[in-house]
Amino acid sequence: MPVSDIAASDIVETVPSALIVLDRNLNITSANRAFYQTFRTSTAETEGCHIYALGNRQWDIPALRTLLESVIPHRASVEGFEVEHDFPTIGRRTMLVNARKIFRPGDHDGFILLAIEDVSEERAARKESNRNWLLTKSIVDTIRDPMVVLENDMTIVTANKAFLTIFGSTEAETHGRRVSELGQHQWDVPALRHLMEKVLPENKPIENFEIEDDFPSLGRRVFNLNARKISQPGNHAHRMLLVFEDITGRKQRERDAQTLTNEISHRIKNNLQIVIGLIAYEIKHTLPVCIPGLKAMQARIGAIAQLYDVISQSSRGRTVAVDSYLQEIAKTMSESLLGKQSGIGITVKAEPLEIDPDRAVPFGLLVNELTTNAIKHAFPDGTGHIVLSLEQIGDEIELVIADDGIGMRDKIVAKIPEKRGSDYVAIFVRQLGGTITTASSEGTGTIIKVRLPLLLAPSGGAEPLAA
Amino acid sequence: MAVILVVEDDVFIREIAEVMIQDWGHEILSASDVSEALLHLRSSHQIDALFTDIYLKTDVHGGCDLAQQAIALRPRLRVLYTTANCVTDKLQALFANGTQFLRKPYTEDQLKDSLDHMLAA
């Protein structure tokens, strides 16, 4: 059925807005079903009644009087006229009134059609939202870190006082602009833009995105950027909170500490180079029988020096990551003892465990001695495989150095002088408070297991335990 | 045998290295910093290889800068760096192409292996 065939009265009865028709004297000539339902009244009580007299004069509202007596006479229609009033029957309400003059042919006085929409809930929600926003803004303003709130389209809704003060900007200069457009485009970093684009649609926060740059009137600064999606209950719109943490001081302290560490490490290794040089000088003038011992001493001093590098590269704050520590030891030993053409391979299988730096050196030297012994004596034909493994077993840590070489019996017969190395192993094991067992037979390789008390903490766990 | 320019600011370390290198039959030239080394490199003296420390006196990457200048002056020169610093990727990026590196502290055997490898390359 075409829309034109539908009776106007049917349409009037089905629209959700309350409709009433007034004559020139403001008497109600008719009203629709929505009006009666909204204002809990009836046809008998309504039709013919003067608008102001309706329902114990609850429509005698100054704002409505203004509309009907001062505005309508001069205009054909009025839209969005808001009336807030305490209605005796339905309580306090906010009504949005649209008014239109209607003329019938031959009738010069005309009628007034009033469409009344109850927008109380919407207005209350808006007020609540504004209240929350003001509260949020006042909290945000008290936070010392600069921060901005962004809309879906990445434009700034608000910047807190710290942001405006620190970056020397005004609300007008920031509002509605993108972060990448601010200042001298310091924040216009492709990687940051990419991350920011994911915060709202994917609810993916930005964690500690570091930017170092020269800022006008601030100088060289390092900022950590963190971003989160923020939502308001009952509101489908989402915004992004972007916080700028100035970590320049902390970064400088870290750099100073790193420079100092590097300087000390540099001096230690240069001094160890002098010690190795002194031993080299002795080697030139000593009896041939003493030379292997002195060279072994040089190698151990070299191992200690290399461990400093390994520890600094495997360090996670106050602890050393044993898994990457073992990897580094294996890599260093492969480079220094085996070389690229070697047929001997070293594999590491280690659980993610951590060790306190005090024990890292004896631990590293223990691994160094045992692995060196395997490299030197297990593979007379120059091919084989060594596996370094580390796992937590109950209250203990088990370090295993396993090779698939000729076995211990042949090794002991062939290399008696190496007993000195075994002595060092015993000392390191005692220093770490552990025990050592060896399983080996001719042709089946050697497996050395070192059990250490739980001086290692699981990765990301508690502080390392003291032995 | 080769002529090797040894650049090291620590006198003791340099002299021990020079004694070792001479024992293996090579001729050595000696310098303690970049400017002394450049005097040798700009001379007409034959130089086959440069063995240089990286941290030279106050110049943190002096050895790297020296190697670049040395290769510009003598394109066929072989280079072996050494340092007591931690060798990071950032530092390695400063090494000239085709050069070698020896970590400090090094033993006599390690130095010999590195020099032999460099001279054979």
Which tens digit of pLDDT belongs to each residue from B79-97? 999 999 888 888 889 999 9
Contact A266 B55 (CB under 8 A): yes
Domains identified in chain B and CATH numbers: 3-120 (3.40.50.2300)
Shortest distance, CA B44 to any CA of chain A (angstroms): 32
For A199-254, the pLDDT digits (tens) are: 988 989 999 999 998 888 888 999 999 999 987 665 667 889 999 999 999 999 98
DSSP letter for A466, please. Answer: P
pLDDT in tens, A299-326: 778 878 877 777 776 665 667 788 888 8
Q: What is the reported pLDDT for A15?
A: 77
Q: Which of residues 35-54 of B touch A (CB under 8 A)?
A: none
Chain pair A-B, CB pairs under 8 angstroms? 69
pLDDT at B37: 97
Q: Are A286 and B75 within 8 A, CB to CB?
A: no
**b/e map of A17-41 (b: 16 or more CB within 10 Å)?**
bbbbbbbeebebebbbebbbebbeb
Residue A462 has pLDDT above 70, yes or no: no
For chain A, percent of residues with pLDDT exceeding 90: 19
Report domain extents, chain A: 3-118, 124-246, 251-458
When the pLDDT of each residue in chain B is averaged and rounded to a whole number, the result is: 93
Check if CATH label 3.30.450.20 holds for domain A124-246: yes
Q: How much is the pLDDT for A455?
A: 56
Of residues A445 and A341, more confidence is placed in A445
Same fold: A3-118 with A124-246: yes
Contact A274 B13 (CB under 8 A): yes
DSSP state at residue B36: H
Residue A310 to chain B, least CA–CA distance (Å): 9
Fold of A251-458: Heat Shock Protein 90 (3.30.565)
Q: Which of A149, A129, A158 is nearest to A229 (CA)?
A: A149
pLDDT exceeding 70 applies to what percent of chain A? 88
**Euclidean distance between CA atoms A167 and A176, whole angstroms:** 17
**Under 8 Å between Cβ of B63 and B14:** no
**Closest by Cβ to B16, choosing from A262, A281, A295:** A281
Crossing angle (nearest 10°) for helices B62-73 and B34-42:
10
Searching chain A, which residue's CA lies closest to the CA of residue B86? A309
Instruction: Kindly provide the ipTM of the predicted complex, given to two decimals.
Output: 0.89
pLDDT band at A372 (very low <50, low <70, confident <90, very high): confident
Q: Please indicate, yes or no, whether the overall pTM of this predicted structure exceeds 0.80.
A: no
For A158-178, write each residue's pLDDT tens digit. Answer: 899 999 999 888 988 899 999
Q: Do A273 and B107 touch (CB under 8 A)?
A: no
Question: By the CB < 8 Å criterion, does A276 face chain B?
Answer: yes
The whole-chain average pLDDT of chain A stands at: 82
Neighbours of B78 (CB within 10 A): 22
Pairs from A84-91 (Cβ < 8 Å, separation ≥ 24)? A84/A123, A85/A58, A85/A61, A87/A39, A87/A55, A87/A58, A88/A55, A88/A56, A88/A58, A89/A39, A89/A40, A89/A41, A89/A55, A89/A58, A90/A38, A90/A39, A90/A40
- Chain B residue with Cα closest to A272: B105
Query: Is the CB of B10 inside 8 Å of chain A's CB atoms?
Result: yes
**CA contacts within 13 A on the Cβ side of A198:** 10
Mean pLDDT within B111-119: 92
In this predicted structure, what is the pLDDT of residue A313? 67
Contact A211, A225 (CB under 8 A): yes
Write the burial class of residue A198 (CB in 10 Å: 0-12 exposed, 13-18 middle, 19+ buried). middle
Domain A3-118 has CATH 3.30.450.20: yes
* CB-CB neighbours of A125 under 10 Å: 13
Question: Most confidently modeled of A168-172, A257-261, A339-343?
Answer: A168-172
